[in-house]
Amino acid sequence: MLNNLSPQNPDPIMQLITLCREDPRETKIDLGVGVYKDGAGNTPVMRAIRAASKKVWDNETTKVYTGLPGDPAFGKAMRDLVLADSVEGSRVAAIATPGGTGAIRQAFELARKANPDVTVWTSNPTWPNHLAILKFMGLPNTEYAYFDEASCTVDFDAMMDSLQGVKAGDMVLLHGCCHNPTGANLTLEQFGTVADLIADKGALALVDIAYQGFGDGLEEDAAPTRLLASKLPEMLVAASCSKNFGVYRERVGCLMAISEDASITPNTQANMNYLNRIAFSFPPDHGARLVTTVLTDDALTADWKDELETVRLSMLGLRTQLSEELRQRTNSDRFDFIAQHRGMFSRIGATPEEVLKMREDFGIYMVSDSRMNIAGLNPTTVPLLAEAIAKSCK
């Protein structure tokens, strides 16, 4: 029977990891998968997570199951981190999920359960796995205009134009901050305008927030999600702790659902619990417990924020350095957008052929849509990348 399985096209981001690993050149630069690396190319365990691991190790007395939504303390900690006081806690249901991807999958499942005819609107472009999951689930997907390839900025007018097609009962997926793959983001005011449109249309917003703290700061990055939560009667939020807590392989994510009224929350919660039950029963707990330990201990929270801020500022520094190097080499301001983009990624507007040329001639690995992971750079490799871009991109 298994010989009937159709061949799988590899995920472009996963494929790049293998290609880069197999490249013997010492000078290769990995700008593929969204993983933070320090100046020495390592992805460290954050100090507060290490301390939390010790605390959990010393104090944990059982590994018995939690509950279908995971530990409620995790849900509460994530609600505080992402939504703060933008919405009454009694309107928020939450489940722990295996990573942000798990939260996205459960969000799509929940939307389909609430409306079997839901169409999911995604930005053009979006994280390829959004589209892969939607396709696998057979959910109708419509793209809304987002990125202007020529200027590498958001084309907000085109976005608003295409969102006019949203119907009641549709779901609109927004990136809460640090848009993946482009790095180009809406202003807070523009988020407000989009929220008004979603409310007018009677649609459901799904905010994917996977990089809180990597853009303009922990609070600043949550501001659009909080604004939407304060304006919309209902909303879903898929949050990931992979990047901002550096707990990638632990798989820590959370789906939050805001119901219109607190009386609806228990049923929303029961439906979310059910979705966990049929998918994997209990969500993984260890990583979520580390995150909760950090977020419920003032000293650990302060240390985590401090380290996260260092990470954020190092990426901003690399952005500035790269755009300056490119200014000099191209004698133009064409790549100034790199300093304006926020988060881990920038899509630089190179063609797939140019991306391939950079890979073959310079050992630079970026996704074929020209998304690069800024955190894969360090001050020494920035000039090498600038040279490669200047020599390869018309």
Just list the catalytic residues: 127, 208, 210, 243
Which one, 69 or 283, has the nearer CB to ligand LMR? 283
Which one, 121 or 345, has the nearer CB to ligand LMR? 345
- Using CB under 6 A, which residues numbered 129 to 148 contact ligand LMR? 129
Which one, 92 or 147, has the nearer CB to ligand LMR? 147
245 binds ligand LMR (CB under 6 A): no
Binding mask 178-207 for ligand LMR (x = CB under 6 A): --x---------------------------
Least separation in angstroms between residue 127's CB and ligand LMR is 6
Within 10 angstroms of residue 112's Cβ, the number of other Cβ atoms is 16
* Distance from C-alpha of 101 to C-alpha of 239, rounded to nearest angstrom: 9
- Using CB under 6 A, which residues numbered 325 to 354 contact ligand LMR? none
* Distance from C-alpha of 378 to C-alpha of 340, rounded to nearest angstrom: 18
Q: Specify burial of residue 15 (Cβ count, 10 A radius: 0-12, 13-18, 19+).
A: middle
* Distance from C-alpha of 118 to C-alpha of 183, rounded to nearest angstrom: 28
Residue in this structure with the two tokens 């990624």, named with its chain if needed: 345
Q: Which two tokens mark 1?
A: 């029977």
* Distance from C-alpha of 33 to C-alpha of 214, rounded to nearest angstrom: 15
Least separation in angstroms between residue 351's CB and ligand LMR is 21
Count of residues of this chain found to bind ligand LMR when the rule CB under 6 A is applied: 6
Which one, 12 or 217, has the nearer CB to ligand LMR? 12
CA 43 to chain centre: 18
Q: Which two tokens mark 85?
A: 């006081």
19 binds ligand LMR (CB under 6 A): no
Within 10 angstroms of residue 94's Cβ, the number of other Cβ atoms is 27
Least separation in angstroms between residue 332's CB and ligand LMR is 29
13 binds ligand LMR (CB under 6 A): yes
* Distance from C-alpha of 132 to C-alpha of 58, rounded to nearest angstrom: 41
Pair 112, 137: CB distance under 8 Å: yes
Which one, 13 or 264, has the nearer CB to ligand LMR? 13
Least separation in angstroms between residue 179's CB and ligand LMR is 11
Least separation in angstroms between residue 38's CB and ligand LMR is 18
Closest residue to ligand LMR, judged by C-beta, is: 34
Which one, 97 or 268, has the nearer CB to ligand LMR? 97
Pair 112, 170: CB distance under 8 Å: no
Which one, 51 or 173, has the nearer CB to ligand LMR? 173
Least separation in angstroms between residue 164's CB and ligand LMR is 29
* Distance from C-alpha of 220 to C-alpha of 212, rounded to nearest angstrom: 9
* Distance from C-alpha of 275 to C-alpha of 284, rounded to nearest angstrom: 14
Least separation in angstroms between residue 180's CB and ligand LMR is 5
Binding mask 56-85 for ligand LMR (x = CB under 6 A): ------------------------------
Binding mask 102-131 for ligand LMR (x = CB under 6 A): -------------------------x-x--
**Bridge-partner residues for 123, per DSSP?**
144
**Amino acid, res. 49:** I
**Amino acid, res. 353:** E
33 binds ligand LMR (CB under 6 A): yes
Which one, 13 or 114, has the nearer CB to ligand LMR? 13
Helices (H), the chain: 12-22, 47-59, 72-82, 99-114, 128-137, 156-163, 188-201, 218-231, 265-279, 286-295, 298-330, 337-340, 352-362, 382-392
Which residue in the set 30, 34, 178, 206 belongs to the binding site for ligand LMR (CB under 6 A)? 34
Least separation in angstroms between residue 128's CB and ligand LMR is 8
Residues in contact with ligand LMR by the rule CB under 6 A: 13, 33-34, 127, 129, 180
